[in-house]
Structure 1
Amino acid sequence: MEKFTTLTGVAAPMPIVNVDTDMIIPKDYLKTIKRTGLGTGLFAEMRYNEDGTENPDFVLNQPAYRNAKILVAGDNFGCGSSREHAPWALMDFGIRCVISTSFADIFYNNCFKNGILPIVVTEEDLDKLMDDAERGANATLTVDLEAKEIRGPDGGVVQFDLDDFKRHCMLNGLDDIALTLEKGPSIDGFEKSYAETRPWA
């Protein structure tokens, strides 16, 4: 998993509450178990018209936000079913950070396992960040995980809190597999001892 230390990029505003995982990646795109290629289906029902053409009114189709790396979203982001394809689609599109006042628990935890940083802020701070994000090409935010702060284009700073273990994993690029591999020497030692004491097993 790629390390997350400091991210600077365009932030796209999505002031919609209760964005569920079916909105993030519709069920038609769930036939694959690959993590790549899902970016084309991200927010497909809002992003494309019925004939397959782009909806010019959707934020990620607007020139200023096509390369957005950060999403500033409404309350309860990622609710609905537990599909892990939702963070896969965000990551494949290029979004590494989602900021909201709250997230659904399963989606929130899935983000950390896939290299996306979900940040919870107060409603007041979200309003400030949403205002920053609505500036189009000038909507550049810097997310500093080490300092646990978000810096706006005008020098404003929003502090956020995060569980120390989750922060450690993101800073060091550790997913569940990498965490297990860190215990490699201990696992090898156990296997050797087990084989010696139970050779028949």
Structure 2
Amino acid sequence: MIGTGSRLAPGKLARTCVPEAALFLFAQGCLVPQSVDELNTRPHSIPRVDLTKLPVYLLQPVLTLDPQEQADLTSTPTCHCQLDVSIPEIIADDPTVDIEVRIFVDYDVNVTASQPPIDRIRLDGSFTRTETFRQLQPIVLDSSKLRGVGLHVVELVIGERQGFALTDVSPPQRAMLPDFESSTFKFVVQVLQPNPARQSCSDPPQLAPQVKSCP
């Protein structure tokens, strides 16, 4: 039994609890407002070509393409030669993001006709995969895509898909949004003139990555 003179008497409990409750409420009223917005602190990745996996032919200064010779024109079906360029892997540090590879030929910021990519390749991310690389299928380049005889610069611009800016932002078709970065991989192709000494574009020596196609 608690006596009236005890330290735990009800009257004293009431007198000690009221100030504590008031202090608690006062303290609650002084809290600094906090944002409840979700913070995205993940740094954006810079996808890039894995240079250690490149085929030997991409280490040479220029690739050559003999697009078509007389026997290819008269064959049934008509045949031609093309380059099947293998860039096996793209490094992507974040396996969840979607990657886009845009391929340009002779890109010139001052020549509008050169700015649209000849191809766009999407490499989807995954929340169930942990690998930090993406497989890239061979890039097919024929004389039409390379815009005819001559020396041509092929560029791969690689970035997070959501990071590409609108196509009219400079440099057109390849600009990135703030906080995003892309990487670029280039190689040079020489498209040859027809050679009367050759019957077919597949006559030896046929150097990689050139292959004959007869659709």
Same fold, TM exceeding 0.5?
no
Structure showing greater Rg: 2
TM-score normalised according to structure 2 size: 0.21
TM-score normalised according to structure 1 size: 0.21
Higher helix proportion (structure 1 or 2) = 1
